[in-house]
Each structure stands twice: as C-alpha cells, then as structure tokens.
Structure 1
Amino acid sequence: MLREVGIAHPRLALPRAGQGDDLVAFQQWLCEAIPLVDHLGLSGMHWQGDTLIWDLRLSPNLNDKGTGFGGSLAAQTTLIGWCWATLWLRTQGRLQDVVVAKANQRFLAPVTGDYRLECAPRDAGGTERLHTRLQTHGKGRIALIQRLYTGATLCLEAESDYAVLPAQAPP
C-alpha cells in the first residue's frame, strides 16, 4: 500500500482480550504504516518479560566506515520505544496515539555486526503509573530504556519518554 502525505494509515485491529499481538502481523503492519521500517534490517521481534527485543542486520545500516550508522541506530531506538508503548497499550485494549516526547542516545562502541536492540521501562513502576494516568486522565507518559548489543558488547544506550495522547472520539 502506497502511503500518502497527510493521510493516516489505518490502525491494526486490537488483539482479542487476554491475547498478545501476533508480532509477525504487527511487523508487517509496521512496515506498511512507517515505510522506513522496511529498510532498517529488522529480522524479527519478540518479548522477554516486559522487554521488547528486535534482531537487526547491520548491512542496511552501514556508515562510510563499515560500522553502524548513528542516524539509523538512533531512529531504531526511537522506533522500538514507540512500538513498546503501542504494543503495551494494545494489551490494555487501548487504541491511542503514541509520540516520542524526548530522546537521547549515548554511543559506547562501534556496531560491527548484526545486533539486537532491547527496550523496557526505565523503572519498575513505569507501567503502573502510566496505567493510573490513563485511567484518571486519558493520557500519560512513560520513560523507556533502549540498549543495543553486538554479541555481549553494549554499543548504544538510549532513554526516551513517550506520550500517550488522549483517545479521539470515532468519526
């Protein structure tokens, strides 16, 4: 499906209550909703507890030095956080928009091979606070940490805040 500027992509239907998203179907939808995703080398995603993990290929993200391009890596940390928040909302039965409010990265080592990117709440009470804010105000924020590893080497660490916008009334 060709995307048009200014036209929102149709939302993915919520999973059945008590079931998580089919991450393969979510990834396919993500590639349609955000065309850049199809070019980032994302080869799979899965959950490990409350951590969303992506497996990525280095080849589409190379810089002129033959290592990971910082711009691609920064985009990926922002995107995995957006996915984490969106998928968490979907498990709560909520179709609300998520936007990145603040993001920063620390590049610690060059990325020299295929890698994994992990995303989880910055602190243990983050999801409970977000849930409470959504119940009382219909909107909220959550701070997430993203870590990128090549093998056992931590190459990049990022922190991002994501805002969950108030739900819009159906047309």
Structure 2
Amino acid sequence: MQIPSSSSPDALLAALAAHYMAMPPVAAMQPRVLDWEDGCLRMHAPLAANVNDKGCAFGGSLSSLMTIAGWGLAFLTLAQAGQEADIYIADSRVRYLKPVYDDLLVEVRLDTAGEGADAIDLPGALRSKGRASVRMEARTVLADGGAAAVLVGRYVAIARD
C-alpha cells in the first residue's frame, strides 16, 4: 500500500479504509475505521455481518478484525513518518473471554510490555535496519468497557527497495 500524497491523519485513515475494502474477505466483515488518537486505532464492524450460529460475534471475525487493526496501526505509524514497507503479521495469540452480542469495537495499541518506559520506535528501526518488528495488543471492547477478546501479535515491517 502506498502512502497518500497528503500525510494528514484524515488522508491516512481514508487510505487505510480503502485498502481494507479492496480485500474481499475483509470487505465482507464491513469494517470501519473510527479514529486514531494517542497511539490507539479504533475500528468497528457490525454484528450482523459477523454473527455466528449462536447469535453472537463469530470468533474468526473477532480475530480478523483485531489482526487487521494491528496491521493498520503499523501502517499508520510508518506512513506518518513518511515510510513505506510491506507489513506482515508474524505470530499472534488470541484469548476469547466473553461473547459479543453487540457490534464489534476493537482498539489496538503498541504493546510495550517488557520494552521499558519508552515506546517502540518502529520508523527508526525500519530506517536503520531495513526491517522492524513490533508487538501490538488489540482488544475487542464490550459495551461496559471490559474485554471480550485480546490479541497480542508481532508485526514485521520490511522496507521497500
């Protein structure tokens, strides 16, 4: 995905949303980028497009939405710094804690656990090494603010030649 000519937050979010909708499996989930503030990307998807046979959210949809949200945060972090890279999820672990009977709301942030007080410098690592790895933590948030599912994933960015 290329960085739009304008690197304003609105332009980057619009480019991210268009990228998601260009992938048929992702478009079928009907995800919507809500906002990106203070290092947190928030996304939404309607329950009706992601429902299982029990009337709650399909676990695969929860995992998928959290995975693409983490990918999106990596893209936004790099694009804001003017860097393009191929971004992949390298590994992830998902915990399903409670069923979701409402629309899906996901929040994702860099996971700095074990990284000390400083946030990970994804653009700096990519610039100096041509490759960078970052951990993200995504949560599917319930109406009461609790977590329905949590994904911890490691994303890899490889600089384009």
TM-score under structure 1 normalisation?
A: 0.82
What is the distance in 1 between the residues matched to 2:18 and 2:127? 30
Runs of 4+ in 1 over 6 A off after TM superposition: none
What is the distance in 1 between the residues matched to 2:34 and 2:5? 17
Instruction: Indicate the percent of aligned positions where both proteins have the same amino acid.
Output: 25
Does the 8 Å contact 1:100/1:162 carry over to 2? yes
1:78 offset after TM fit, Å? Answer: 1.0
Q: Structure 2 residue aligned with 1:134, among 126, 146, 160?
A: 126
TM-score under structure 2 normalisation?
A: 0.87
1:61 equivalent to 2:50? Answer yes
Name the count of aligned residue pairs. Answer: 155
1:154 offset after TM fit, Å? Answer: 1.2
Q: Greater Rg, structure 1 or structure 2?
A: 1
Aligned CA RMSD, in angstroms, stands at: 1.7
What is the distance in 2 between the residues matched to 1:25 and 1:98? 15
Aligned to 1:16: 6
Question: Residue 138 and residue 57 in structure 1: after superposition, are their counterparts in 2 closer, same or farther (change >3 A)?
Answer: same
Q: Which has the higher relative contact order, 1 or 2, with Cα contacts under 8 A spaced 6 or more apart?
A: 2
Aligned to 1:6: none
2:70 aligns to what SS in structure 1?
A: helix
1:157 equivalent to 2:129? Answer no
What is the distance in 2 between the residues matched to 1:29 and 1:47? 16
Q: Structure 2 residue aligned with 1:91, among 80, 84, 89?
A: 80
Listed as ranges, the gaps of 5+ residues in structure 2 are none
